[in-house]
A and B are shown apart, each in its own frame.
Chain A
Amino acid sequence: MNNPSLTVASLVVGYRAGGLLGRGGRRVDVIAGVDLEVHSGETVALVGESGCGKTTLARAILGLTPITSGQVRVNGVVASGPGDLSWRPIRRQVGLLFQDPVASLNPRMTVATLVTEAFRIHRVGGVNLREEAQRLLRQVGLPARFLDRYPHQLSGGQARRVSMARAMALKPKLVIADEPTAGLDLSVQGEVLNLLVELQATQAVSFLLITHNLAIARHVADRIAVMYLGRVVESGPTDALYSQPAHPYTRALMSTRGGIATAARTVLRGEAPNPLKRPPGCAFSGRCDFAQAQCTRQAPVARTLADGRTVSCHFPLTGGVAS
């Protein structure tokens, strides 16, 4: 595989809870060791439910949340340390789409200023900013008259497009989209998705799609990574995960109404996980229908299956372990 757009290696993001004056206490890991790759031109969907850490992961990839250990590499570039300055090269190459597009736009800036801010931040010279702004708006289907509007004059859908235009400003190789369809009615959801698909085709961009909406992930993503309590429990080609999930959690997830209608219903026991109360061994063991003694004693290690998937499970449902 040629240079991947994104490589996340053994990423851990944690903080100290309890203790006095920031010392002592125990460490709580929101992300407990994640490996992830997004190849050039593909769309990877990061799916998971509340408490899994997917939003934190998105922020950690850009260094917006301090990293405890591990590495993030974007197009081969690594951040040399904490601090905004060392993360600049990576941030220049990634576009970020927020869950709430209106809130992510500075209310005192015009659309033209907003979409071209990246040019100014990275001091890209020899560019007519107004023309660039117009080009970016055209790319997302907005006419030039929006250039001088302010965020409060935009509808939700228009704000979304503006934030997409902004993300594409410096022609990033990777765009991270955080819940792009959150809060949208069914009849307009497609607009956002069609635009993302189109941008990918015309701009050769890789997408990391963070979502809890399995129905969408199935159609848009080439590969899926399933997160549970700060770890990727399974990742692989979309079709494979949907039709033959290897990890019991993936199986439960795919049997919800977002999965394929034919999958057998699996109703999970117990409650959603909490990073503060991490169970011993496999984090999912308490709710797993297939848990065995080993599962509560030993945390599983990620293994690669014959079809190229990786699973973190002692007894994957598809059986057989290879390489």
Chain B
Amino acid sequence: MISARDDEMEPRPAPAILKLLRNLWGSAAGRVGLSCVLLIVACALLDSRIVPYDPNAIDVSVRLAAPSLKHWLGADQLGRDLLSRIIDGSRVVMGIVVVGVGVALAIGMAAGVIAGYGFRTLGAVFALFCDVIRSLPMMLFALAVASLIGTGLGTVTLIVILFLIPVYFRVSRNQTVVLKQSEYVTAARAMGASSLRVMLKHILPNLVGQMVVLVAMDVPTVIGIEAGLSFLGEGARPPLATWGSLLRDGFAFIREAPHIALVAGLPILIATIGFTFLGEALRDSLDPRVIRGPRH
């Protein structure tokens, strides 16, 4: 029951973003996640400004050099500085992430919300398409696509998009079905809002929270796809530096220079830990708080 609390008011709140960041920083997982992600993003953005060496500069004199003061993470088989190549690679990989996830999100969410709101036939057709894609083993599917349209980053990005759309579609659709039952959606309809307006203004904004968590957790997957494909030679073409292609080099020279493989795995490890922790911390902070105190 509601009692008279009309004078009870909270002070003007801080913007939601700041509050979120403070929340994330509050937990250990959040701190780790945020730090790792910020590190990678910084590398991707600042790239050429912070690389110690030109990532493509060949220096045969330091071929396969182990980590040293001159080359912090060592050098690869052509004497190229590994640290620089990793930083450069982060730009490429993050680019794939942003484009891949971005496009998949746009298409998947749009289709999902439309399907969930009530356009059954459209939804059924799209769902069929998604089910087909998801039923194929990813790597085989990727290789098949690559053999059709050729190797390269474009192919990798396309595969990422095709792989992620079904996930975003399904979550958006299911959540839209739930949100459509909310009182505020009914209120909007009762005022005369069109379906489009309801979907854009009422359902989509309330969907975003969940999707952000999903996206954060998907980034390691995308990185894995790129790494896997480039490792198999179907992704980045040399001399382009990506984390996957570095792994490939590292594997080839694993007996003579094991440090290459280890070093190549490092950014993937940091990224996976970072985004996974961030995703979990986001999920926890966006969930309603659990009531403290044991029951009877």
In the complex formed, the residue of B with least CB distance to A158 is B6
Task: Kindly state whether residue B294 has any CB partner on chain A within 8 Å.
Answer: no
Interface hits, A93-131 → B, CB 8 Å: 94, 96, 98, 100, 103-108, 117-118, 121-122
Contact of A103 with B182 in the complex, beta carbons under 8 Å: yes
Compute how far the CA of A268 lies from the CA of B182 in the bound complex, rounded to whole angstroms. Answer: 36
Contact of B1 with A184 in the complex, beta carbons under 8 Å: yes
Compute how far the CA of A321 lies from the CA of B187 in the bound complex, rounded to whole angstroms. Answer: 42
Contact of B187 with A96 in the complex, beta carbons under 8 Å: yes
In the complex formed, the residue of B with least CB distance to A106 is B184
Compute how far the CA of A88 lies from the CA of B206 in the bound complex, rounded to whole angstroms. Answer: 24
Task: Kindly state whether residue B147 has any CB partner on chain A within 8 Å.
Answer: no
How close is B74's CB to chain A, nearest CB, in angstroms?
50
Given contacts A155-B5, A184-B1, are A103 and B183 in contact (CB under 8 A)? yes
Contact of A188 with B2 in the complex, beta carbons under 8 Å: yes
How close is B196's CB to chain A, nearest CB, in angstroms?
10
How close is A18's CB to chain B, nearest CB, in angstroms?
22
Contact of B184 with A104 in the complex, beta carbons under 8 Å: yes
Compute how far the CA of A117 lies from the CA of B12 in the bound complex, rounded to whole angstroms. Answer: 23
In the complex formed, the residue of A with least CB distance to B205 is A108
Contact of B189 with A84 in the complex, beta carbons under 8 Å: yes
Task: Kindly state whether residue B27 has any CB partner on chain A within 8 Å.
Answer: no
- Hey, what's the 0/1 contact readout for B1-24 against A, CB within 8 Å counting as 1? 111111011101100000000000
Task: Kindly state whether residue A87 has any CB partner on chain B within 8 Å.
Answer: yes
Task: Kindly state whether residue B193 has any CB partner on chain A within 8 Å.
Answer: yes
Task: Kindly state whether residue A271 has any CB partner on chain B within 8 Å.
Answer: no
Contact of B206 with A85 in the complex, beta carbons under 8 Å: no
Chain A residue numbers with a CB within 8 Å of B13 are 149-150, 153
Top 6 nearest A-B pairs by Cβ distance? A156-B2, A91-B192, A103-B183, A155-B5, A106-B184, A104-B183
Which residues does B use to contact A, with CB under 8 Å? Answer: 1-6, 8-10, 12-13, 182-184, 186-195, 197, 201-202, 205-206
Q: What are 21 sample pairs from A and B whose C-beta atoms fall under 8 A apart?
A: A62-B190, A84-B189, A84-B195, A91-B191, A91-B192, A92-B192, A96-B187, A98-B183, A103-B183, A108-B206, A117-B193, A121-B192, A121-B193, A121-B197, A153-B9, A155-B5, A155-B8, A157-B2, A166-B191, A188-B3, A188-B4
